[in-house]
Chains A and B, each alone.
Chain A
Amino acid sequence: MTATGVSAALLEAFPDVQEEAASGHSLLVAPVERLVPLLEALKGDGYTLLVDIGMIDHWSQGRVPRFDLVYILRRPKSGEAVWVKVKVADGETPPSAISVFRGADWPEREIYDLFGISFQGHPNMARILMPEDWEGHPLRRDYPLVGTKPSPPLARE
């Protein structure tokens, strides 16, 4: 066991995964093609609870690749958390994690809906929060807060 909690053997098996400093949890930065095997290995290492999948848009800093995809896993015994971070470029399609965690279904759809990043191998890559005919992906930093459509007129009857 390393100080951070992820087993040393696991880290050795993934030489292209970097461990970075973070407070309160372990942070692994992985290349996108190693994502699913890494999640699988972490699940085997005791991180069986999928806490969250989130996405951060670094558009305002002009960073390339633009997005950070973050997976947070937890050990149900101790509550220890690990983050897996993957950098994703606009238009890239990261692999779906459904084969490892079935709970990845909705969060991946949410990311597709709000950021416009679709996942490879997801069985139902459709909008989840916004109406199906919505244009644009609202949580992108370059999407205006008030949307793109004007407010409708007052209803009279």
Chain B
Amino acid sequence: MAEEKRSLTLNMGPQHPSTHGVLRLVLELDGEVVRRCEPVIGYLHTGIEKTAENLTYNQAVTVIDRMDYLSPLTNNLAYVLAVEKLLGITVPPRTRTIRVMFSELSRIASHLVWLGTAAMDMGAMSVFFYCFREREKILDLIEMTAGTRMNPSYFRVGGLLADLPDGFSDKLGALLDEFPTWLQNYRDLLGSNLLWVERLRGAAVISKEDALAYGLTGQTLRSTGVDLDLRKAQPYSGYEDFTFNVPVRQHGDAYDRYELRLEEMVESAGIVRQAIERLPDGPWHIDDWRIFPPDKHQHVERDMEALIYHFKLFTQGFKVPPGEAYQGVEGPRGEIGCYVVADGTARPMRVRVRAPSFYNLQSLPLMVKDRLIADLITAIGSIDIVLGDVDR
């Protein structure tokens, strides 16, 4: 009797510890080999784009935060810059520098979560504790500045929520001083760990042509030899004034992406140090009460006109002239872009978000085809998806 060969269809997720959220994969297996993988998404679809259309321009910052919740500040940056483009305003140098500083801090924080969870997928539990311990220090900085640990909505149209608090630079300086030790710890824990290296090398490979055709950005693209980093290629928010490298690798595998992220954290820390060292004095928001609220103690409590502006801004918002603008920024996962269409009212007519995870995840079936199911776990970890970003 001829042996009948059958494939097994396996459902993985949406509740699965190593899918990094509510991702569902339908797998067709031949033994342990993945023949076909079909991601099913939408289990975290939040309707953020629709909700933003129904809020005023400054209110929409809060929902934009909650998309890529590991790095809310880069989401904010893309949105705020797009609206500022429509308004035709430029923010003062101090604002720009603080924005760069916090974007880079949240990039480090996001990579730390990635490292911790990706290592946990491979069974290396202790890395998770180290990464989260150190991430807390960055969250403390964000909390002392913006008032919340996550989703701070710190960047506002025309400025920031608040200026840096007293004692910020000392605390940041202490963090930057111990940063190299953190990184050394991770390298010690993982770099010489045979299991980690062997499982990542040669796993989840994608070619340069495929990466471009699938619209991949971020480390997934840079691991294939394309050195596209928007901070360098199309600088925004004053990135052209900073010195940093864009690390690139050639193999396009998971190990390259791990190395790239570690090196990017070093570069980010360098940018943060440059930013704090030459942080310009001066105003931290634009001086236009129609867009940015007047200071409460200095103006609102003393001046009737300021009170009226303040009231109007928070009840009606500001009007934006008709037009459309797109701003892409280099987030921790790749290009996160915000596409804002204004129709002359105080609410955006359309907010479209170009989510890096959405495009990166699309290439997963390609990366894992005819590979072992264990490599699938590596692949999901290595492209660093955030489901809030995929589903929006």
Interface residues of A (CB under 8 A from B): 23-25, 48-52, 54-57, 60-61, 70, 72, 74, 76-81, 83, 101-103, 105-107, 110, 127-131, 138-139, 141, 143, 145
B34 within 8 A of A: no
Complex CA–CA separation, A122 to B217 (angstroms): 24
Given contact pairs A129-B391, A130-B45, A52 touches B228 in the complex (Cβ within 8 A): no
Q: Mark B204-236, 1 if CB is under 8 A from A, else 0.
A: 000000101111110001000010101011100
CB distance from A137 to the nearest CB of B (A): 11
Complex CA–CA separation, A83 to B214 (angstroms): 17
Q: Judging by beta carbons under 8 Å apart, are B337 and A139 in contact?
A: no
Residues of chain B from 227 to 267 with CB closer than 8 A to chain A in the complex? 228, 230, 232-234
Q: Judging by beta carbons under 8 Å apart, are B354 and A72 in contact?
A: yes
Given contact pairs A72-B354, A138-B50, A51 touches B337 in the complex (Cβ within 8 A): yes
Identify which of B210, B233, B326 contacts A72 (C-beta below 8 A): B326
Give chain A residues whose Cβ lies under 8 Å from the Cβ of B354. Answer: 51-52, 54, 72
Give chain A residues whose Cβ lies under 8 Å from the Cβ of B146. Answer: none
Give chain A residues whose Cβ lies under 8 Å from the Cβ of B50. Answer: 138-139, 143, 145
Q: Judging by beta carbons under 8 Å apart, are B335 and A103 in contact?
A: no
CB distance from A34 to the nearest CB of B (A): 21
B352 within 8 A of A: yes
CB distance from B46 to the nearest CB of A (A): 10
- Chain B, residue nearest A124 (CB): B38
Q: Mark B85-97, 1 if CB is under 8 A from A, else 0.
A: 1000000000000
Complex CA–CA separation, A131 to B49 (angstroms): 18
B11 within 8 A of A: no
Identify which of B51, B85, B335, B341 contacts A145 (C-beta below 8 A): B51
CB distance from A95 to the nearest CB of B (A): 17
Given contact pairs A50-B213, A128-B42, A139-B49, A79 touches B358 in the complex (Cβ within 8 A): no
- Chain A, residue nearest B339 (CB): A54
Give chain B residues whose Cβ lies under 8 Å from the Cβ of A130. Answer: 42, 45
Give chain A residues whose Cβ lies under 8 Å from the Cβ of B167. Answer: none
Q: Judging by beta carbons under 8 Å apart, are B42 and A105 in contact?
A: no
Q: Judging by beta carbons under 8 Å apart, are A78 and B339 in contact?
A: no
Q: Judging by beta carbons under 8 Å apart, are A48 and B212 in contact?
A: yes
B148 within 8 A of A: no
